[in-house]
Amino acid sequence: GIKKEAEVFAEVVQHDVSKSLVHVFLSQRLTSKIRGVTDSGLRPRPMKCVAIIGGGLMGSGIATACVLNGIDVVLKEVNQKFLEGGMQRVAANLMSSVKKGRMTKEKYEQCMSRLKGTITYEGFDRADMVIEAALEDIGLKQKIFAELEQVCRKDCILSTNTSTIDINVVGAKTNAINRIIGNHFFSPAHIMKLLEIIKTDSTDKQVILDTIAFGKAIKKVPVVVGNCTGFAVNRVFFPYTMAACLLVDLGVDPYRIDKVIKAFGMPMGPLRLADLVGIEVGVHVGGQFVQNFSDRTYASELMHRMRDGDRLGEKNKKGFYNYDAKRRATPAGRDVEAILAASGAALDAKAANTAAQLRQIKQKVRSFSDKDIVDFIMLPVVNESSRVVAEGIVDKASDLDIASVLSMGFPPYRGGPIKMADLRGAASVRDRLASFAAMFTPVGLGGFFEPCDYLQSCARAGVTLADGRSALGTQMARL
Protein backbone atom coordinates (compact mmCIF):
# COMPACT_ATOMS: atom_id res chain seq x y z
CA GLY A 1 0.00 0.00 0.00
CA ILE A 2 2.62 2.56 1.05
CA LYS A 3 4.94 1.43 -1.74
CA LYS A 4 2.16 1.80 -4.32
CA GLU A 5 1.29 5.23 -2.95
CA ALA A 6 4.92 6.31 -3.30
CA GLU A 7 5.03 5.03 -6.89
CA VAL A 8 1.84 6.90 -7.86
CA PHE A 9 3.04 10.05 -6.10
CA ALA A 10 6.36 9.93 -7.95
CA GLU A 11 4.41 9.71 -11.19
CA VAL A 12 1.80 12.44 -10.62
CA VAL A 13 4.29 14.94 -9.17
CA GLN A 14 5.83 15.14 -12.65
CA HIS A 15 2.54 16.09 -14.29
CA ASP A 16 1.96 19.65 -15.50
CA VAL A 17 -1.10 19.94 -13.26
CA SER A 18 1.02 19.16 -10.20
CA LYS A 19 3.71 21.63 -11.25
CA SER A 20 1.07 24.31 -11.82
CA LEU A 21 -0.65 23.82 -8.47
CA VAL A 22 2.65 23.89 -6.58
CA HIS A 23 3.55 27.05 -8.51
CA VAL A 24 0.27 28.73 -7.48
CA PHE A 25 0.76 27.66 -3.84
CA LEU A 26 4.27 29.13 -3.68
CA SER A 27 3.42 32.22 -5.76
CA GLN A 28 0.71 33.28 -3.33
CA ARG A 29 3.26 33.27 -0.52
CA LEU A 30 5.88 35.24 -2.43
CA THR A 31 3.80 38.27 -3.46
CA SER A 32 4.62 40.24 -0.31
CA LYS A 33 8.38 39.97 -0.95
CA ILE A 34 9.30 42.95 -3.15
CA ARG A 35 12.91 43.70 -3.98
CA GLY A 36 14.06 47.06 -2.70
CA VAL A 37 11.02 47.42 -0.43
CA THR A 38 10.48 44.50 1.92
CA ASP A 39 14.23 43.95 2.22
CA SER A 40 15.00 47.62 2.93
CA GLY A 41 14.97 47.34 6.73
CA LEU A 42 11.78 49.41 7.08
CA ARG A 43 8.91 48.29 9.30
CA PRO A 44 5.25 48.63 8.26
CA ARG A 45 3.05 51.04 10.17
CA PRO A 46 -0.36 49.70 11.26
CA MET A 47 -3.45 51.06 9.53
CA LYS A 48 -5.78 51.55 12.49
CA CYS A 49 -8.23 53.89 10.73
CA VAL A 50 -9.06 53.99 7.03
CA ALA A 51 -11.22 56.68 5.41
CA ILE A 52 -13.14 55.63 2.30
CA ILE A 53 -14.61 58.05 -0.22
CA GLY A 54 -17.63 56.58 -1.97
CA GLY A 55 -20.17 54.16 -0.52
CA GLY A 56 -21.19 52.37 -3.70
CA LEU A 57 -20.72 48.66 -4.31
CA MET A 58 -16.94 48.95 -4.31
CA GLY A 59 -16.56 51.43 -1.46
CA SER A 60 -18.98 49.55 0.79
CA GLY A 61 -17.20 46.28 -0.01
CA ILE A 62 -13.83 47.78 0.97
CA ALA A 63 -15.38 49.15 4.16
CA THR A 64 -16.77 45.69 4.94
CA ALA A 65 -13.32 44.10 4.53
CA CYS A 66 -11.81 46.67 6.88
CA VAL A 67 -14.32 46.48 9.74
CA LEU A 68 -14.30 42.67 9.53
CA ASN A 69 -10.62 42.77 10.37
CA GLY A 70 -10.65 45.27 13.22
CA ILE A 71 -9.95 48.47 11.28
CA ASP A 72 -12.00 51.60 12.00
CA VAL A 73 -13.63 53.15 8.91
CA VAL A 74 -14.82 56.65 8.13
CA LEU A 75 -17.13 56.40 5.09
CA LYS A 76 -17.75 59.62 3.15
CA GLU A 77 -20.48 60.29 0.62
CA VAL A 78 -21.72 63.40 -1.19
CA ASN A 79 -25.10 63.59 0.56
CA GLN A 80 -27.06 61.96 3.35
CA LYS A 81 -29.11 59.75 1.05
CA PHE A 82 -26.06 58.23 -0.60
CA LEU A 83 -24.37 57.88 2.78
CA GLU A 84 -27.29 55.95 4.22
CA GLY A 85 -27.22 53.71 1.16
CA GLY A 86 -23.51 53.00 1.66
CA MET A 87 -23.95 52.25 5.38
CA GLN A 88 -26.84 49.94 4.58
CA ARG A 89 -24.74 48.07 2.01
CA VAL A 90 -22.03 47.42 4.59
CA ALA A 91 -24.67 46.24 7.06
CA ALA A 92 -26.18 43.95 4.41
CA ASN A 93 -22.78 42.46 3.59
CA LEU A 94 -22.20 41.65 7.24
CA MET A 95 -25.75 40.43 7.89
CA SER A 96 -25.37 38.00 4.99
CA SER A 97 -22.66 36.24 7.01
CA VAL A 98 -24.89 36.23 10.10
CA LYS A 99 -27.74 34.60 8.15
CA LYS A 100 -25.36 31.95 6.81
CA GLY A 101 -24.12 31.17 10.31
CA ARG A 102 -20.61 32.44 9.60
CA MET A 103 -20.83 35.34 12.04
CA THR A 104 -22.51 35.89 15.39
CA LYS A 105 -24.83 38.82 15.98
CA GLU A 106 -22.34 40.08 18.56
CA LYS A 107 -19.54 40.12 15.97
CA TYR A 108 -21.90 41.94 13.60
CA GLU A 109 -22.49 44.67 16.19
CA GLN A 110 -18.75 44.96 16.85
CA CYS A 111 -18.05 45.41 13.15
CA MET A 112 -20.76 48.03 12.69
CA SER A 113 -19.46 49.97 15.70
CA ARG A 114 -16.21 50.50 13.78
CA LEU A 115 -18.05 52.23 10.92
CA LYS A 116 -18.72 55.97 10.99
CA GLY A 117 -20.38 57.96 8.22
CA THR A 118 -19.92 61.55 7.09
CA ILE A 119 -20.80 63.89 4.24
CA THR A 120 -17.86 66.19 5.09
CA TYR A 121 -14.23 65.43 5.81
CA GLU A 122 -14.95 65.08 9.53
CA GLY A 123 -12.78 62.32 11.00
CA PHE A 124 -10.28 62.28 8.14
CA ASP A 125 -7.64 63.72 10.48
CA ARG A 126 -7.66 60.29 12.21
CA ALA A 127 -7.06 58.33 9.01
CA ASP A 128 -3.81 56.44 8.45
CA MET A 129 -4.95 55.75 4.88
CA VAL A 130 -7.61 57.09 2.54
CA ILE A 131 -9.09 54.91 -0.22
CA GLU A 132 -10.90 56.89 -2.92
CA ALA A 133 -13.61 54.81 -4.60
CA ALA A 134 -15.49 57.52 -6.51
CA LEU A 135 -16.53 57.55 -10.16
CA GLU A 136 -13.91 56.99 -12.87
CA ASP A 137 -13.68 60.69 -13.67
CA ILE A 138 -10.24 62.31 -13.83
CA GLY A 139 -11.41 65.81 -12.87
CA LEU A 140 -13.38 64.50 -9.90
CA LYS A 141 -10.50 62.41 -8.62
CA GLN A 142 -8.01 65.26 -8.97
CA LYS A 143 -10.34 67.54 -7.01
CA ILE A 144 -10.74 64.92 -4.26
CA PHE A 145 -6.99 64.38 -3.92
CA ALA A 146 -6.28 68.11 -3.77
CA GLU A 147 -8.79 68.32 -0.90
CA LEU A 148 -7.33 65.25 0.82
CA GLU A 149 -3.92 66.86 0.89
CA GLN A 150 -5.41 69.71 2.91
CA VAL A 151 -7.51 67.73 5.41
CA CYS A 152 -5.40 64.63 6.09
CA ARG A 153 -2.24 64.22 8.14
CA LYS A 154 1.07 64.62 6.32
CA ASP A 155 1.85 60.94 6.90
CA CYS A 156 -1.54 59.69 5.71
CA ILE A 157 -1.41 57.39 2.66
CA LEU A 158 -3.64 58.67 -0.15
CA SER A 159 -4.83 55.84 -2.39
CA THR A 160 -7.22 55.38 -5.29
CA ASN A 161 -9.25 52.35 -6.33
CA THR A 162 -9.16 53.35 -10.00
CA SER A 163 -8.92 50.49 -12.47
CA THR A 164 -7.99 52.56 -15.53
CA ILE A 165 -6.58 56.01 -14.70
CA ASP A 166 -2.84 56.71 -14.46
CA ILE A 167 -1.95 57.17 -10.77
CA ASN A 168 0.28 60.15 -11.60
CA VAL A 169 -2.68 61.83 -13.29
CA VAL A 170 -4.87 61.26 -10.22
CA GLY A 171 -2.33 63.03 -8.01
CA ALA A 172 -1.27 65.67 -10.53
CA LYS A 173 -2.80 68.58 -8.59
CA THR A 174 -1.13 67.72 -5.29
CA ASN A 175 2.33 68.04 -3.79
CA ALA A 176 1.97 64.62 -2.20
CA ILE A 177 2.80 62.28 -5.10
CA ASN A 178 5.27 60.35 -2.90
CA ARG A 179 2.43 59.08 -0.70
CA ILE A 180 -0.12 58.43 -3.44
CA ILE A 181 -0.66 54.81 -4.45
CA GLY A 182 -3.23 52.64 -6.18
CA ASN A 183 -5.35 50.17 -4.19
CA HIS A 184 -7.21 48.28 -6.89
CA PHE A 185 -9.77 45.94 -5.35
CA PHE A 186 -11.85 43.49 -7.37
CA SER A 187 -15.60 43.26 -6.91
CA PRO A 188 -17.08 42.19 -4.56
CA ALA A 189 -14.24 43.75 -2.58
CA HIS A 190 -14.98 41.99 0.71
CA ILE A 191 -14.83 38.58 -0.99
CA MET A 192 -12.28 38.71 -3.83
CA LYS A 193 -8.80 37.87 -2.53
CA LEU A 194 -6.59 40.01 -4.77
CA LEU A 195 -5.43 43.52 -3.92
CA GLU A 196 -3.49 45.03 -6.83
CA ILE A 197 -1.19 47.71 -5.39
CA ILE A 198 0.00 50.21 -8.00
CA LYS A 199 3.19 52.11 -7.29
CA THR A 200 4.64 54.96 -9.32
CA ASP A 201 8.28 55.96 -9.72
CA SER A 202 7.67 58.52 -6.96
CA THR A 203 5.90 56.32 -4.40
CA ASP A 204 7.82 56.16 -1.13
CA LYS A 205 9.05 52.69 -0.05
CA GLN A 206 7.40 53.12 3.34
CA VAL A 207 4.05 53.75 1.64
CA ILE A 208 4.41 50.59 -0.45
CA LEU A 209 5.39 48.54 2.60
CA ASP A 210 2.50 49.90 4.66
CA THR A 211 0.03 49.15 1.86
CA ILE A 212 1.28 45.57 1.53
CA ALA A 213 0.80 45.12 5.28
CA PHE A 214 -2.68 46.64 5.05
CA GLY A 215 -3.62 44.16 2.32
CA LYS A 216 -2.49 41.25 4.46
CA ALA A 217 -4.32 42.69 7.49
CA ILE A 218 -7.65 42.57 5.62
CA LYS A 219 -6.84 39.03 4.40
CA LYS A 220 -6.05 39.94 0.80
CA VAL A 221 -3.18 38.72 -1.33
CA PRO A 222 -1.28 41.94 -2.14
CA VAL A 223 0.44 42.10 -5.54
CA VAL A 224 2.58 45.17 -6.22
CA VAL A 225 2.59 46.31 -9.85
CA GLY A 226 3.84 49.27 -11.87
CA ASN A 227 1.82 52.17 -13.20
CA CYS A 228 0.60 51.71 -16.78
CA THR A 229 -2.67 51.53 -18.71
CA GLY A 230 -4.69 48.72 -17.15
CA PHE A 231 -1.93 48.10 -14.56
CA ALA A 232 -1.25 44.33 -14.63
CA VAL A 233 -4.41 42.22 -14.58
CA ASN A 234 -6.69 44.34 -16.77
CA ARG A 235 -3.87 44.99 -19.18
CA VAL A 236 -2.94 41.36 -19.82
CA PHE A 237 -6.59 40.37 -20.23
CA PHE A 238 -7.65 43.08 -22.69
CA PRO A 239 -6.99 40.67 -25.62
CA TYR A 240 -9.29 38.10 -23.97
CA THR A 241 -12.47 39.93 -24.91
CA MET A 242 -11.07 41.49 -28.10
CA ALA A 243 -10.13 38.08 -29.52
CA ALA A 244 -13.61 36.79 -28.74
CA CYS A 245 -15.18 39.80 -30.49
CA LEU A 246 -12.99 39.16 -33.53
CA LEU A 247 -14.16 35.55 -33.69
CA VAL A 248 -17.79 36.67 -33.44
CA ASP A 249 -17.26 39.25 -36.18
CA LEU A 250 -15.84 36.45 -38.33
CA GLY A 251 -18.98 34.38 -37.85
CA VAL A 252 -18.17 32.08 -34.92
CA ASP A 253 -21.07 31.28 -32.58
CA PRO A 254 -20.52 33.40 -29.41
CA TYR A 255 -21.97 30.69 -27.20
CA ARG A 256 -19.56 28.13 -28.56
CA ILE A 257 -16.70 30.49 -27.67
CA ASP A 258 -17.92 30.80 -24.09
CA LYS A 259 -18.48 27.05 -23.80
CA VAL A 260 -14.96 26.27 -25.05
CA ILE A 261 -13.26 28.81 -22.76
CA LYS A 262 -15.22 27.58 -19.77
CA ALA A 263 -14.15 24.03 -20.60
CA PHE A 264 -10.56 25.33 -20.67
CA GLY A 265 -11.08 26.20 -17.00
CA MET A 266 -12.12 29.84 -16.82
CA PRO A 267 -15.15 30.54 -14.58
CA MET A 268 -16.99 31.92 -17.62
CA GLY A 269 -16.30 32.79 -21.23
CA PRO A 270 -15.34 36.30 -22.38
CA LEU A 271 -18.83 37.25 -23.57
CA ARG A 272 -20.53 36.07 -20.40
CA LEU A 273 -17.86 38.00 -18.50
CA ALA A 274 -18.64 41.12 -20.56
CA ASP A 275 -22.25 40.85 -19.38
CA LEU A 276 -21.14 40.48 -15.77
CA VAL A 277 -18.77 43.45 -15.84
CA GLY A 278 -21.22 45.53 -17.85
CA ILE A 279 -21.20 46.31 -21.57
CA GLU A 280 -20.81 50.05 -20.91
CA VAL A 281 -17.75 49.40 -18.77
CA GLY A 282 -16.36 47.19 -21.53
CA VAL A 283 -16.79 49.98 -24.08
CA HIS A 284 -15.04 52.49 -21.83
CA VAL A 285 -12.12 50.25 -20.80
CA GLY A 286 -11.73 48.81 -24.29
CA GLY A 287 -11.44 52.32 -25.65
CA GLN A 288 -8.57 53.03 -23.25
CA PHE A 289 -6.60 50.08 -24.62
CA VAL A 290 -7.33 50.92 -28.26
CA GLN A 291 -6.07 54.44 -27.59
CA ASN A 292 -2.89 53.37 -25.77
CA PHE A 293 -2.02 50.14 -27.60
CA SER A 294 -3.26 50.85 -31.11
CA ASP A 295 -0.59 48.62 -32.67
CA ARG A 296 -2.03 45.46 -31.11
CA THR A 297 -5.73 45.94 -30.47
CA TYR A 298 -8.86 44.98 -32.38
CA ALA A 299 -11.49 47.72 -32.37
CA SER A 300 -14.66 45.72 -32.90
CA GLU A 301 -18.01 47.51 -33.06
CA LEU A 302 -19.69 44.66 -31.22
CA MET A 303 -19.71 46.14 -27.70
CA HIS A 304 -20.71 49.58 -28.98
CA ARG A 305 -23.64 48.09 -30.89
CA MET A 306 -24.68 46.05 -27.85
CA ARG A 307 -24.68 49.23 -25.77
CA ASP A 308 -26.57 51.21 -28.39
CA GLY A 309 -29.10 48.40 -28.58
CA ASP A 310 -29.66 48.65 -24.81
CA ARG A 311 -28.10 45.22 -24.26
CA LEU A 312 -26.10 46.26 -21.18
CA GLY A 313 -25.54 42.86 -19.58
CA GLU A 314 -26.65 41.80 -16.12
CA LYS A 315 -27.26 45.46 -15.30
CA ASN A 316 -30.57 45.45 -17.21
CA LYS A 317 -30.90 41.65 -17.51
CA LYS A 318 -30.08 41.53 -21.21
CA GLY A 319 -26.75 41.32 -22.94
CA PHE A 320 -25.24 38.41 -24.84
CA TYR A 321 -27.43 36.43 -22.45
CA ASN A 322 -30.86 37.07 -20.96
CA TYR A 323 -31.17 36.95 -17.16
CA ASP A 324 -34.04 35.98 -14.90
CA ALA A 325 -34.76 37.32 -11.42
CA LYS A 326 -32.15 34.95 -9.94
CA ARG A 327 -29.48 36.06 -12.45
CA ARG A 328 -29.61 32.75 -14.28
CA ALA A 329 -28.28 33.21 -17.80
CA THR A 330 -29.70 31.84 -21.02
CA PRO A 331 -28.23 32.61 -24.47
CA ALA A 332 -29.97 35.59 -26.04
CA GLY A 333 -29.85 33.92 -29.46
CA ARG A 334 -32.21 35.66 -31.86
CA ASP A 335 -32.40 38.73 -29.63
CA VAL A 336 -28.84 39.65 -30.63
CA GLU A 337 -28.69 38.21 -34.15
CA ALA A 338 -29.06 41.60 -35.83
CA ILE A 339 -26.38 43.16 -33.61
CA LEU A 340 -23.91 40.35 -34.32
CA ALA A 341 -24.60 40.60 -38.05
CA ALA A 342 -24.13 44.37 -38.07
CA SER A 343 -20.82 44.12 -36.23
CA GLY A 344 -19.61 41.49 -38.67
CA ALA A 345 -20.68 43.69 -41.58
CA ALA A 346 -18.64 46.55 -40.09
CA LEU A 347 -15.54 44.36 -40.26
CA ASP A 348 -16.38 43.48 -43.86
CA ALA A 349 -16.62 47.19 -44.70
CA LYS A 350 -13.26 47.97 -43.06
CA ALA A 351 -11.63 45.17 -45.06
CA ALA A 352 -13.40 46.01 -48.33
CA ASN A 353 -10.07 46.30 -50.18
CA THR A 354 -9.05 42.82 -49.05
CA ALA A 355 -12.42 41.11 -49.29
CA ALA A 356 -11.04 37.94 -50.89
CA GLN A 357 -8.48 37.47 -48.12
CA LEU A 358 -11.13 38.09 -45.45
CA ARG A 359 -13.35 35.40 -47.00
CA GLN A 360 -10.46 32.94 -46.80
CA ILE A 361 -9.87 33.83 -43.15
CA LYS A 362 -13.56 33.28 -42.38
CA GLN A 363 -13.45 29.83 -43.95
CA LYS A 364 -10.44 28.86 -41.84
CA VAL A 365 -11.84 30.30 -38.63
CA ARG A 366 -15.22 28.63 -38.98
CA SER A 367 -13.46 25.26 -39.14
CA PHE A 368 -11.48 25.95 -35.94
CA SER A 369 -11.29 23.16 -33.40
CA ASP A 370 -11.89 23.86 -29.72
CA LYS A 371 -8.11 23.91 -29.20
CA ASP A 372 -7.77 26.50 -31.97
CA ILE A 373 -10.30 28.73 -30.22
CA VAL A 374 -8.46 28.39 -26.90
CA ASP A 375 -5.16 29.35 -28.55
CA PHE A 376 -6.79 32.23 -30.43
CA ILE A 377 -8.13 33.75 -27.19
CA MET A 378 -5.56 32.76 -24.57
CA LEU A 379 -2.24 33.13 -26.40
CA PRO A 380 -2.67 36.89 -26.98
CA VAL A 381 -3.12 37.06 -23.18
CA VAL A 382 0.21 35.24 -22.82
CA ASN A 383 1.77 37.66 -25.31
CA GLU A 384 0.67 40.72 -23.31
CA SER A 385 1.74 38.98 -20.10
CA SER A 386 5.20 38.63 -21.62
CA ARG A 387 5.32 42.37 -22.24
CA VAL A 388 4.30 43.08 -18.65
CA VAL A 389 7.12 40.84 -17.38
CA ALA A 390 9.64 42.38 -19.80
CA GLU A 391 8.74 45.93 -18.76
CA GLY A 392 9.10 45.13 -15.07
CA ILE A 393 5.47 46.00 -14.36
CA VAL A 394 5.52 43.06 -11.94
CA ASP A 395 8.39 42.29 -9.57
CA LYS A 396 8.41 38.66 -10.71
CA ALA A 397 6.46 36.59 -13.23
CA SER A 398 4.82 34.53 -10.50
CA ASP A 399 3.12 37.70 -9.19
CA LEU A 400 1.29 38.04 -12.50
CA ASP A 401 0.30 34.37 -12.47
CA ILE A 402 -1.23 34.46 -8.99
CA ALA A 403 -2.93 37.79 -9.74
CA SER A 404 -4.57 36.21 -12.79
CA VAL A 405 -5.74 33.23 -10.76
CA LEU A 406 -7.19 35.31 -7.91
CA SER A 407 -8.84 38.02 -10.02
CA MET A 408 -9.89 36.52 -13.35
CA GLY A 409 -10.28 32.94 -12.15
CA PHE A 410 -7.51 31.65 -14.40
CA PRO A 411 -7.52 27.90 -13.67
CA PRO A 412 -4.99 27.13 -10.88
CA TYR A 413 -4.21 23.76 -12.44
CA ARG A 414 -2.78 25.66 -15.42
CA GLY A 415 -0.63 27.85 -13.19
CA GLY A 416 -1.32 31.28 -14.71
CA PRO A 417 -0.56 32.73 -18.16
CA ILE A 418 3.24 32.68 -17.80
CA LYS A 419 3.45 29.24 -16.16
CA MET A 420 1.11 27.78 -18.77
CA ALA A 421 3.28 29.19 -21.55
CA ASP A 422 6.48 27.94 -19.96
CA LEU A 423 5.10 24.41 -19.60
CA ARG A 424 4.18 24.51 -23.28
CA GLY A 425 7.45 26.16 -24.30
CA ALA A 426 8.13 29.70 -25.47
CA ALA A 427 8.97 28.53 -28.98
CA SER A 428 5.64 26.72 -29.36
CA VAL A 429 3.71 29.79 -28.16
CA ARG A 430 5.71 32.06 -30.46
CA ASP A 431 5.12 29.85 -33.50
CA ARG A 432 1.38 29.57 -32.86
CA LEU A 433 1.00 33.33 -32.46
CA ALA A 434 3.11 33.88 -35.58
CA SER A 435 0.78 31.63 -37.55
CA PHE A 436 -2.24 33.68 -36.46
CA ALA A 437 -0.34 36.89 -37.29
CA ALA A 438 0.44 35.60 -40.78
CA MET A 439 -3.21 34.65 -41.28
CA PHE A 440 -4.49 38.11 -40.35
CA THR A 441 -1.77 40.36 -41.77
CA PRO A 442 -3.44 40.55 -45.22
CA VAL A 443 -6.44 42.30 -43.61
CA GLY A 444 -4.35 44.56 -41.38
CA LEU A 445 -4.88 42.69 -38.10
CA GLY A 446 -1.60 40.82 -37.81
CA GLY A 447 -0.37 43.13 -35.03
CA PHE A 448 -2.94 41.71 -32.62
CA PHE A 449 -1.09 38.38 -32.68
CA GLU A 450 2.51 39.39 -33.48
CA PRO A 451 4.79 37.74 -30.88
CA CYS A 452 6.42 40.43 -28.74
CA ASP A 453 10.19 40.90 -28.67
CA TYR A 454 10.53 39.37 -25.21
CA LEU A 455 8.66 36.21 -26.19
CA GLN A 456 10.74 35.87 -29.34
CA SER A 457 14.00 36.40 -27.43
CA CYS A 458 13.08 33.78 -24.82
CA ALA A 459 12.13 31.34 -27.58
CA ARG A 460 15.42 31.86 -29.42
CA ALA A 461 17.49 31.53 -26.25
CA GLY A 462 15.56 28.51 -25.01
CA VAL A 463 14.74 30.13 -21.65
CA THR A 464 11.44 30.38 -19.82
CA LEU A 465 9.35 33.53 -19.81
CA ALA A 466 9.57 33.52 -16.03
CA ASP A 467 13.38 33.59 -16.07
CA GLY A 468 13.90 35.61 -19.23
CA ARG A 469 14.63 38.97 -17.60
CA SER A 470 17.56 37.59 -15.63
CA ALA A 471 18.67 34.99 -18.19
CA LEU A 472 18.76 37.39 -21.14
CA GLY A 473 20.73 39.97 -19.16
CA THR A 474 22.00 42.79 -21.35
CA GLN A 475 19.67 41.80 -24.19
CA MET A 476 16.77 43.14 -22.10
CA ALA A 477 17.95 46.71 -22.63
CA ARG A 478 17.33 46.35 -26.36
CA LEU A 479 13.77 44.93 -26.05
The per-residue pLDDT for 1 is 82
The per-residue pLDDT for 472 is 85
* 302-340 pLDDT per residue, tens: 999 999 999 999 999 999 999 999 999 999 999 999 999
Three-class DSSP labels, the chain: CHHHHHHHHHHHCCCHHHHHHHHHHHHHHHCCCCCCCCCCCCCCCCCCEEEEECCCHHHHHHHHHHHHCCCEEEEECCCHHHHHHHHHHHHHHHHHHHHCCCCCHHHHHHHHHCEEEECCCCCHHHCCEEEECCCCCHHHHHHHHHHHHHHCCCCCEEEECCCCCCHHHHCCCCCCHHHEEEEEECCCCCCCCEEEEECCCCCCHHHHHHHHHHHHHCCCEEEEECCCCCCCHHHHCHHHHHHHHHHHHCCCCHHHHHHHHHHHCCCCCHHHHHHHHCHHHHHHHHHHHHHHCHHHCCCCCHHHHHHHCCCCEHHHCECCEEECCCCCEEECHHHHHHHHHHHHHHHHHHCHHHHHHHHHHHHHHHCCCHHHHHHHHHHHHHHHHHHHHHCCCECCHHHHHHHHHHHHCCCHHHCCHHHHHHHHCHHHHHHHHHHHHHHHHHHCCHHHCCCCHHHHHHHHHCCCCCCHHHHHHHHHHHC
Indicate if the pLDDT at residue 7 is higher than 60: yes
The per-residue pLDDT for 478 is 46
* 16-29 pLDDT per residue, tens: 999 999 999 999 99
Q: What is the mean pLDDT of residues 136-140?
A: 92
**Whole-prediction pTM:** 0.93
